[in-house]
Amino acid sequence: MNEQELTTQHQDSEEGSTPEGQESLFICTANHDFAAYAQEELRRLFGSVKSSVLSDREVLLVTLNEGQAQVVQKITESRPIFLRHIQPVQFQRSGENIGESLTEVASFIQSNNQIGAGVKVALQVRKSADAGGESAAQLKEWLEESLRDSEAEWVASGSDWIVSVYVTATDIYAGISRPEDNLSDWSGGAIRFRREEGQLSRAKFKLLEAEREFGLDFSAYRSAVDIGAAPGGWTSFLLERGLKVTAVDPAKLHPSLLKMPNLTYVRKNANEVKFRENEFDLLVCDMSWSPKLMVQMVTDLLHALSPGGTAIITIKLMHKKPMALIKDVISSFENSRLQVQRAKQLFHNREEITLYMIKY
């Protein structure tokens, strides 16, 4: 969706009235170029949505026609696909004097009765693309220094509360919330993993993030089939977790994998391979194929996935109607004995989403 389409959707969504006193303000984040679809998810939940783009087609300032607690409950229960992160706005200041505004932010934080002795608090600071001056890290350091005398325990992770600060060229926004109410406890939902020496590809990060997002433990599985495995990013990850992995792809796997004792490499197209019934308890697929072909290929191999087994599959969003495409793909899988547990555009997804399914 281009910038004009996003702007038009914003204008259309402002129609309708909102009862006085029932509005709440949030900063909402999606993957690059998918903010319009996150906005559509909000529109389907709340009807009237007033929004403006804060940064780089990823971050929206959104006014919703319900109170903050009701908004958070609705959003978290709906498990949105494209909406990656939300943060409440309980403090807002306009002006060019960032130092003065940050001093007011510090006072706002200190005056909050939730931020007390022994409470673990994470401070997350972000900036829009057009905001000049100090970096987000420098602004965070300044705020931390200002809050040094606070009795709260300031932590990087495992917090009881999150203080979110967002800075643009003209405004500064802040809010305090529980980590679970932000959809992600990472700043902006941007989950960062450290690339390891010898790592085959960044595709591994998708499985690491899926494990966190979907509450999985890949080491608990015994045997996996990786469809379209080359060059081997997902296969490598599953082997590291101790699984026996059958990697299927006519293309070459990375040479470093070929001597792995738990690897079976089938250098064929997946539709040319025969597997036994219930041979695997995990099926993964991250192919850059059309969704229709991918669905057919996975469906043809489902006999090899045991009942109760898990499927983790990415859907490439190859045209301009991703909502309809996702609905069709999910319907096809559910007609093939796969029950969809979650559909999510992870931070490490690009033009795709990830499905977590269980065979029944």
Q: CA 251, CA 119: separation in Å to the nearest integer?
A: 53
pLDDT at position 95 is 82
CATH code of the domain occupying 91-189: 3.30.2130.30
Q: pLDDT, tens digit, for every residue of 223-276?
A: 999 999 999 999 999 999 999 999 999 999 999 999 999 999 999 999 899 999
pLDDT > 70: percent of the chain: 92
CATH topology identical between 3-83 and 204-359? no
Q: pLDDT, tens digit, for every residue of 83-141?
A: 999 999 999 999 878 889 999 999 999 999 888 889 999 999 999 989 988 999 999 99
Kindly report which listed range (8-22, 183-197, 237-251, 319-333) carries the lowest average pLDDT score: 8-22
Rounded to the nearest 5 percent, the helix, strand and coil shares of the chain are: 35, 25, 40
Crossing angle for the helix pair 136-146 and 98-111, nearest 10 degrees?
50
Q: pLDDT, tens digit, for every residue of 178-188?
A: 999 999 999 99
Q: CA 209, CA 356: separation in Å to the nearest integer?
A: 12
Q: Do residues 243 and 226 touch, judged by C-beta distance below 8 A? A: no
Using pLDDT thresholds of 50, 70 and 90, give the confidence band for residue 207: very high
Q: Do residues 61 and 171 touch, judged by C-beta distance below 8 A? A: no
116: three-class secondary structure by DSSP: coil
Using pLDDT thresholds of 50, 70 and 90, give the confidence band for residue 10: very low
Residues tagged active-site: 316
pLDDT at position 223 is 98
pLDDT at position 21 is 58
Q: Which CATH class is domain 3-83?
A: alpha beta
350: three-class secondary structure by DSSP: coil
Domain ranges in the chain are 3-83, 91-189, 204-359
CA neighbours closer than 13 Å in the CB half-sphere of residue 262: 15
Q: In Å, what is the CA distance from 110 to each residue of 7, 105, 113, 147?
A: 37, 9, 8, 7
Q: pLDDT, tens digit, for every residue of 147-179?
A: 988 889 999 999 999 999 999 999 999 999 999
User: pTM to 2 decimals?
Assistant: 0.90
CA neighbours closer than 13 Å in the CB half-sphere of residue 134: 15
**For residue 143, pLDDT beyond 50:** yes
Q: CA 207, CA 230: separation in Å to the nearest integer?
A: 15
pLDDT at position 8 is 34
pLDDT at position 3 is 38
**Cis peptide bond prior to 231, omega within 30° of 0:** yes
Q: CA 99, CA 109: separation in Å to the nearest integer?
A: 15
**For residue 48, pLDDT beyond 90:** no
Average pLDDT, rounded, for the chain = 91
| Architecture of the domain whose range is 204-359 | 3-Layer(aba) Sandwich (3.40)
pLDDT at position 195 is 75
**For residue 208, pLDDT beyond 50:** yes
Closest CA to 355 of 346, 73, 347: 346
pLDDT at position 200 is 64
pLDDT at position 318 is 76
The mean pLDDT of 274-288, rounded to a whole number, is 95
Residue type, 159: S
